[in-house]
Amino acid sequence: MSNAPSPTGPFSGLTRLDHVGIACRDLDASIEFYRSTYGFEVEHEEVNEEQGVREAMLRINGTDDGGATYLQLLEPTREDSPVAKFLARNGEGVHHLAFGTGDVAASAAGIGERGVRVLDSEPRTGTAGSRIVFLHPKDCGGVLTELVQSAH
Ligand code: CMX
Ligand code: CO
């Protein structure tokens, strides 16, 4: 069965790869690697205390739904945060994938009906005022998966 959004397939409403989240110990060093190696520039930087991260978004390309695809570089701000736990266990590397949707609550509900655990009962605030939920990696083939609805 296809996972692509279609009138006959399961409803997900997902329309793009929004970002790949990468756990790093030193955000500034990681930004410099992506700038000097590939020429990617930071579009946005912020601290998200709820998620326990200092983060940078590097825009890679636009997408045909009017959105874009990014790399999200993540440095933990506290030891009990998900990214700090991940770094202690695995070291630096790919932390999660995020798919874009026009309606994160509807996407989460549709995917939850497929038996995937949705970790957030209500969407939380993500980068630049976006609305986000996470899906449990153990229900997604070992991949921590985020759904994101842009603020605009
Ligand atoms: N990718 C894949 N598997 C992961 C994982 C990840 N990023 N993080 C944890 N796991 C796995 C662990 O390997 C472990 O597996 P085993 O039981 O087989 O050893 C299992 O999940 C439990 O790991 P844990 O270290 O005990 O972690 P917790 O259960 O406390 O938390 C999770 C795991 C996914 C529920 C938690 O990290 C979470 O809620 N994440 C969502 C929020 C988040 O990651 N925020 C940061 C990014 C913010 C943003 O993108 O804006
Ligand atoms: Co993310």
pLDDT at 10: 73
Q: With a cut of 60, say whether residue 2 has pLDDT above it.
A: no
pLDDT digits (tens, 9 = 90+) for 16-53: 999 999 999 999 999 999 999 999 999 999 999 999 99
Structure tokens at 86: 């991940």
pLDDT at 82: 98
* Residue in 66, 139, 14 with CA at minimum distance from that of residue 3: 14
List domains and CATH numbers for the chain. Answer: 15-149 (3.10.180.10)
Task: State the DSSP H helix or E strand holding residue 56, giving kind and residue range, or none if neither.
Answer: strand 53-62
pLDDT digits (tens, 9 = 90+) for 97-125: 999 999 999 999 999 999 999 999 999 99
Position 132 confidence tier, pLDDT thresholds 50, 70, 90: very high
Question: Which residues contact residue 112 at a Cβ distance below 8 angstroms, ignoring those fewer than 6 apart?
Answer: 118
pLDDT at 8: 59
Residue 21 CA, closest ligand 1 atom number:
50
Give the binding-site residues of ligand 1, using a 6 Å CB cut-off: 21, 48, 51, 53, 72, 74, 82-83, 85-86, 89, 95-96, 119, 126-127, 134, 137, 142, 144, 146
Cα(43) to ligand 1 centroid in Å equals 26
Q: Where are the alpha helices (DSSP H) in the chain?
A: 27-38, 82-90, 104-112
